[in-house]
Amino acid sequence: MKEVGKVTHWYDKIGVAVVKLSGPLKVGDNIKIKQGDQELDDTVASMQVDHKEVPSGKKGSEVAIKISQTAKEGTVLYKGE
């Protein structure tokens, strides 16, 4: 598994995580959300940059992704297989 980013902010009401990407990520990608001992599988449902829908994000960019799990600040995201 390859780390693709870290959550810098979590919007609980809307289920959106702001992620600083350390690798490429796109809508539809399977991801693993790792918080402490907990590992959850999820899929990137949508992605935005500056409140505009985008299909993908590249290394170094900050994106907002919609996911079904809770992802607190500092949570590491990995790209699933």
23 has a pLDDT exceeding 90: yes
Quick one: tokens of 79?
């790209």
Please give the Cα distance from 13 to 11 (Å, whole number).
6
Q: At a CB cut-off of 8 Å and minimum separation 6, what does 40 contact?
A: 32, 33, 69
Give me the pLDDT at residue 80, please: 77
pTM (2 decimals)? 0.91
Full set of structural domains in the chain with CATH: 2-79 (2.40.30.10)
Give me the pLDDT at residue 69, please: 87
Q: Kindly report, residue by residue over 30-63, the tens digit of the pLDDT.
A: 999 998 888 999 999 999 999 999 999 999 999 9
Give me the pLDDT at residue 35, please: 85
With H, G, I as helix, E, B as strand and everything else as coil, classify residue 13: coil
Q: What is the mean pLDDT of the chain?
A: 94
